[in-house]
Amino acid sequence: MDMNRDNVMRLLKTARGQIDGIIKMIEDGRYCMDISSQLLSTAAIVKSANMQIIETHMSTCVKQAFESGNADDKINEIMLLISKMNK
């Protein structure tokens, strides 16, 4: 995770800031479509952070599992994650 840690942290902190802004928008009674647009933007940032974490996992943990002949657990783990992402 070290290689992407700083970037993932930056993305998550940006998303946190956006969520604070969205809460303020709701409190201020801002236009619904503006709020929805900000929610979509925040969701895209969180999705990007998640993809970076998954990419790191695949290139480290999953790769090591295949090299050591213990891939079945990692394959099942990834399949479960894909199932959750598709809901």
What is the full DSSP assignment across 19-79? HHHHHHHHHTT--HHHHHHHHHHHHHHHHHHHHHHHHHHIIIIIHHHHHHT-HHHHHHHHH
**pLDDT tens figures, 23-80:** 999 999 999 999 999 999 999 999 999 999 999 999 999 999 999 998 999 999 999 9
**CATH architecture entry for 2-85:** Up-down Bundle (1.20)
Q: What is the gyration radius of the CA atoms in the chain, in angstroms?
A: 17
Q: Kindly report, residue by residue over 12-39, the tens digit of the pLDDT.
A: 999 999 999 999 999 999 999 999 999 9
For residue 86, what is the DSSP state? Answer: T
- Give the chain's largest Cα–Cα span: 56
- pTM (predicted TM-score): 0.84
